[in-house]
Every structure is written in structure tokens, then in C-alpha cells.
Amino acid sequence: MAKKVMIVDDSRIAQLQLQEILSGTEYEVVACCLNGEEALNKYDEVHPDLVTMDIVMPGIDGLATARMMMQAHPEARVLVVSSLAYDDTINEAKDIGAMGFVYKPFDHDQIMQAMADAFSHEQVGAGCEEGKRSPEA
């Protein structure tokens, strides 16, 4: 059975790139959201196994969205996919429980590895390698 992925990014290009990378893999894109509000509303409808989350979006930013999503759904797996790759941003993503951080622009191998790591409960990305999220988190 395919793992369900929800893409949250205000860039249609990034959404399409992720959809293309995931096409024909063990992952099925079940929703694409342009902002945090839409993602929070859609989560209950589609129950994704993993959420890719951009940081800079109109309205609620990706880190605040991820924080709210994981408070409401402690089982949520969030993979941050962003060009905003400052140490404090990466650390904040890790602190709220993100499963990893992928830098834009990304490629097929980076996305596939980060997703595999997210499902094995490993955090990925510079500044996140040392952390692991426990299965019950």
C-alpha cells in the first residue's frame, strides 16, 4: 500500500517537482496545499503518512503550521523542504519534531532519501543528522 503524502508549498513549481519525483514510487500524493491554513484543514480529510512543508508561505508560516499540526496530531511526520536554511531555522524545525530538512533546490535522490529516513524515524539535513525522533513522539 502506498504511503500518503501531502505537499504544502506556495510554489506550484515545487509542488509539481515533488509530484513528479514521487510519481511511480511507493508514495502517493494525496493533497497539495498552498498555505498553512489549507494544510491544517486538509490534514484531517486525507490523513497523510508524511507532510512536506515549505517554511515561507503566506499566512501561517511552515514552522508554525508544523507545530500546530503536530500538537493536534502527534503521529504526524513532517519533512521541511525549504530554501530558508539558516541554522536557527533548522534547529527550530528539529525542536518542533520535524523528521528532517531538505534544501531547495532539491533532486530526486535527496527527496527519496529524506522520505525513507523520515519513515525510519531518522532526522536528515545539515544540523539534523544527530537527532532521532522516537516512534512514540
Domains parsed from the chain with CATH numbers: 3-119 (3.40.50.2300)
Average pLDDT value for residue range 43-53: 97
Nearest CA to 81 out of 62, 95, 109 is that of 62
Nearest CA to 46 out of 12, 4, 102 is that of 4
At residue 3, the pLDDT reads 97
pTM value surpassing 0.75? yes
Average pLDDT value for residue range 16-23: 97
Portion of the chain with pLDDT greater than 90, in percent: 77
10 Å Cβ neighbour count for 126?
10
Query: Angle at CA 43, nearest 5°, toward 38 and 44?
Result: 120
